[in-house]
Amino acid sequence: MTVSHASFNITKTCRGSQARTAELVTPHGAVPTPVFLPVGSQGSVKTLTPNEVRDTGMNMLLANTYHLYLRPGIPAVERAGGLHKFMAWDGPILTDSGGYQVFSLAGLRRVNDEGVVFRSHIDGSEHTFTPELSVQYQESLGADIIMVFDECSAAGSSYDRLEQALKRTHRWAERCLKSQRRCDQALYGIVQGGVFPELRKRSVEFLTSLDFPGYAIGGLSVGEPKQSTYDVAGETAALLPEDKPRYLMGVGSPEDLVECVSRGIDIFDSALPTRVARNGALYTPSGRINIFNAQFSELQQPIDATCSCYTCRTFSAAYLHHLFKAKELLAYRLATIHNLTFISKLMRQMRETILDGTFLSFREDFLVNYQPTDEITRLDQKQKWFQSRNNNS
């Protein structure tokens, strides 16, 4: 199927790395890449209005098919005129297939070659997702970019388990492609294979033979060490077509964005910047700070003097410390504005330095100055988050 009003035009590549900048054209506007997509799972970036999201510099969002299917229901969004009108967002939207969320429901789902039968994490009611239904739901939502329904595997899965999931993912990708009816949406394939290069290579070879307009790299940032994420993302990106977008799913920490842009990734999404903001973790050029710490209780300066966001222009760190300690709702809004502005600025800086030929020095300076979360602490936090999701399910 020929997709209208969709193109990907590379404007500059970086000598000495795989970094590149391009223009991704969609029915709801052109997006410069590399680009980060804030997550609006239920049709909303938590705590912010669409205008506030725009003001942070973000111009493309991700929404979640699984969550919208459960609430308010796909027909309700369709009756409202589609997701863009329903959530009052006039920019591009990417919807995931619902696959990751369904497969994260550990004890609440059954998988077979036809699809997945699962129980809602909300009320326990039983539902079925198939590749055909996932595409149908995403077409009804009306996003600019939609994703195939794939089988996601947990971190640490065996080679045999990943190979089995890979074969099913490939069969489902063919079915998704055959079931697509709308010509104004770009359907992206998803490369799986865990941390095994041979499986990733096989997945790329099969999916590129189907000639999708774009390709995602799935199954990373699920608990594996960061270096494994970087290695697999870079090796996989190098195998994908140069003239099509490369989307690394679920990656959003500042250091990961810089490392993976240098490895040729064009599109990112993650709930991390907004989630940690609501927990008082705020980005600065030197790393994440915890606004709950007593050292900020008397600091009559902004969180980041180099930041031009509404939060930093208007309020002191001491005020934010007070809001979080008092559990005032404004705290979560102001912190989210700051973190999204920080990520937006970072993406813009990478685009600009790729264009002017200084990306490698920018990358080096950033990674020297930015102190990431300790790896052991990060993995522990990741496991606790996964556990909390399963418990809530």
pLDDT at site 84: 98
Q: How many structural domains is the chain composed of?
A: 2
| Per-residue pLDDT at 64 exceeds 70 | yes
| Statement to judge: residues 249 and 350 lie in one domain | no
pLDDT at site 390: 44
| Per-residue pLDDT at 376 exceeds 80 | no
Which residue among 250, 277, 304 closes a domain?
A: 277
Cβ 176 vs Cβ 149: under 8 Å: yes
**Region 366-376 average pLDDT:** 89
| Statement to judge: residues 136 and 63 lie in one domain | yes
| Statement to judge: residues 46 and 81 lie in one domain | yes
Provide, rounded to the nearest whole percent, the portion of the chain with pLDDT above 70: 93
| Statement to judge: residues 149 and 191 lie in one domain | yes
**Region 98-112 average pLDDT:** 77
pLDDT at site 99: 79
| Per-residue pLDDT at 367 exceeds 70 | yes
Residue 3 is assigned to a structural domain of this protein: no
How far apart CA 238 and CA 216 sit, in angstroms, is 13
**Domain span at 78:** 8-277
Which residue among 218, 244, 277 closes a domain?
A: 277
**Region 353-366 average pLDDT:** 98
pLDDT at site 379: 58
With a CB cutoff of 8 Å and minimum separation 6, the contacts of 210 are 173, 174, 177, 189
**Region 39-50 average pLDDT:** 97
| Statement to judge: residues 283 and 273 lie in one domain | no
Give the residue, 110 or 33, on which the prediction is more confident. 33
pLDDT band at 102 (very low <50, low <70, confident <90, very high): confident
pLDDT at site 1: 52
Instruction: Select which of 256, 269, 304, 380 is catalytic.
Output: 269
Instruction: Note if 113 is an active site residue.
Output: no
Lowest mean pLDDT among 125-139, 274-288, 368-382: 368-382
pLDDT in tens, 178-208: 999 999 999 999 999 999 999 999 999 999 9
**Region 15-29 average pLDDT:** 97
CATH at 122? 3.20.20.105
| Statement to judge: residues 322 and 213 lie in one domain | no
pLDDT at site 154: 82
pLDDT at site 100: 77
User: Whole-model pTM?
Assistant: 0.95
| Statement to judge: residues 210 and 335 lie in one domain | no
Instruction: Note if 269 is an active site residue.
Output: yes
Report long-range pairs for 303-308 (Cβ below 8 Å, ≥24 apart). Answer: 303/338, 304/338, 304/342, 307/338, 307/341, 307/342, 307/345, 308/341
Is 391 exposed, middle or buried, given 0-12, 13-18 or 19+ CB atoms closer than 10 A? Answer: exposed
Instruction: Select which of 96, 144, 256, 266 is catalytic.
Output: 96
Residue 38 is assigned to a structural domain of this protein: yes
pLDDT band at 109 (very low <50, low <70, confident <90, very high): confident
pLDDT band at 382 (very low <50, low <70, confident <90, very high): low
| Statement to judge: residues 212 and 361 lie in one domain | no
pLDDT at site 389: 45
Residue 385 is assigned to a structural domain of this protein: no
Instruction: Round the average pLDDT of the chain to a whole number and report it.
Output: 93
| Statement to judge: residues 285 and 273 lie in one domain | no
How far apart CA 167 and CA 388 sit, in angstroms, is 30
Which residue among 277, 301, 319 closes a domain?
A: 277
| Statement to judge: residues 225 and 363 lie in one domain | no
Lowest mean pLDDT among 12-26, 96-110, 190-204, 280-294: 96-110
pLDDT band at 275 (very low <50, low <70, confident <90, very high): very high
